[in-house]
Amino acid sequence: MEITVAEALVRCFENEKVETIFGFPGGTILPVYNALYDSHIKHVLVRHEQGAMHAADGYARSTGKVGVAMATSGPGATNLVTGIANAYMDSVPLVVITGQVPTSQVGTDAFQEVDITGITMPITKHNYLVKDPKSLPVVMKNAFHIASTGRPGPVLIDLPKDVADAVIDFKYPAHASMRGYRPTFRGHPQKINEAVKLIESSQRPVIYAGGGILNAGAVEELRYLAETINAPVTNTFMGLSSFPGDHPLFLGMLGLHGTRYANLAVTQCDLLIALGARFDDRVTGKIAQFAPQAKVVHVDIDPAEIGKNVLVNVPIVGDVKQVLSRINNAISPKKDHTWLDRVQQWKQEYPLEYSQKEGELKPQYVIEKIYEHTGGKATVATDVGQHQMWVAQYYRFNRPGALVSSGGLGCMGFGLPAAVGAQAGLPGETVILVTGDGSFQMTMQEMATAVEQELPVKVFILNNNCLGMVRQLQEVYYDKRYMATQFKFLPDFEIFARAYGIEAFTARTGNEIDEVVKKALAIPGPVVVNCLVSADENVTPMVLAGKAINEAIDC
């Protein structure tokens, strides 16, 4: 069957069961948009290309499918870069299509030409500049395979306009074909046996679970291991929702703004079982004093992460679900509760806490009320900053994959378009965005996308009239020399929402927020809630730079 490459691209999407594409059109990508006109695939028109990337990202995280974003050449492509970097650092499976100038003009500084494959080479799992029209079907098949297997990540395909217009005899490959790309899934049997022996002999085990648990779909295997060996579980930020937030073995998040009891447990454990986590700096603090008494078992699909930051006694390269299944089949139950009793005592001695006076509205209280009214089952997107950490601390996730947030890159502006993408992928489910007044203003134009697509995202803005986390760092490290962190002007977010035809509320006190949350969740369409919270509230505990994680302070 002879069709254009642009039409073939759309057929490839259909073969990969793509249901939704997030994008913004322009001249060089128009052949693809023209072909998309006759397809059943839904296209979500965002208001900025960065929004397309973050929306595709949120869609992928919340559904477990490969997200797809599309933009034109030049500024369209470069506007995707931040979102691509974000997805790369958080291991999110995406396929990104960019238009490109005709091949005869590549390298001539033509109108809206940039070398997007060169720009994105360090932040994509792989990328392609398609020069041979006949190669497009194979490129697409390989792109989806690369994006979704091994350690997931974004793959970019740059499509020159003349290639998109070329005619080919279309046939979609049944299988991906790539020499040199063979992720290890099963894990080495000898290393798995060594891990089992360490688990059997340990007296104070702690399970340290990251986002790899969610990527591998290993939630049940994680819970079985924890309950069988009576090991407390702590999550990285990206791992939150992989273990029930209300489970008695759950320690919450560890590290920079982790719970004191999680950090103490890791510091005093004799075995640290690291699953789908990468020992990043926000987790470890001072590496020389991180889990100093522990032997370390590290399971990860990416061999480059094992031993990169922390010395490992038993390295296991493989899919964490497969490896855990084999470990679980070999271990015996542990019945000694001595270690758990000590951990439980730390929980009682060092709880997360804050105080709220009459007439105040504390941000932690807002999160607790959102949790109370959703039962931990909503999908919660966040931006980056203090509000993000309060969600990590006070919202107890009870559904896998329910947190949609920027971890590795820490990208302000991620939240709203990501929530839009998550809601597009989860019709009929509750999707909540918790954001800050600074983050929200970076991409708030995507409220138009939510309205146009009839996506009932509930937006809670923790409005403290400043860039809260940066202000906190200035307070702690720079003697309260607040420079460029306090807003002299903010829009009225309630009026802003009404300009988009969205229902909106403002909450000023703790007495108001309970009813406001209830109303917002009951409204069928999108809602914006402007929460006027205390301006000087800090995220605590906090581990200062150069300190061990068991030396956290209140600030």
Active site residues: 49, 111-112, 161, 469
The residue type at 299:
V
- Strands 403-404 and 431-436, sheet pairing: unpaired
Q: What is the dihedral of CA 112, 114, 116, 121, to 10 degrees?
A: -170
- Which phi and psi angles does 235 have, rounded to 5°? -110, 145
3-state secondary structure of 171: coil
Say how many CA atoms lie within 13 Å of 347 toward its Cβ.
14
Residue 28 Cα distances to 99, 102, 165, 425, angstroms? 5, 8, 10, 28
State the sign of the Cα–Cα–Cα–Cα dihedral 314, 317, 320, 323. Answer: negative
State the Cα–Cα distance between residues 501 and 488, nearest whole angstrom: 27
Cα separation, 43 vs 34, in Å, equals 12
Contact residues for 548 (Cβ-Cβ < 8 A; gap 6+): 267, 285, 286, 289, 290
* 480 token code pair: 């309260």
Burial call 12-34: b when 16+ CB within 10 Å, e when fewer:
bbeebebebbbbbbbebbbbbbb
Contact 400, 376 (CB under 8 A): no
- CB-based contact 404:62 (threshold 8 Å): yes
Q: Which of 386, 389, 392, 436 is nearest to 416 (CA)?
A: 436
Per the structure block, which two tokens stand in for 247?
A: 């489970």
Closest C-alpha to 148, from 94, 110, 108 = 94
Kindly report the length of the chain. Answer: 555
Q: Residue holding tokens 């990285």?
A: 236
For residue 118, the one-letter residue type is G
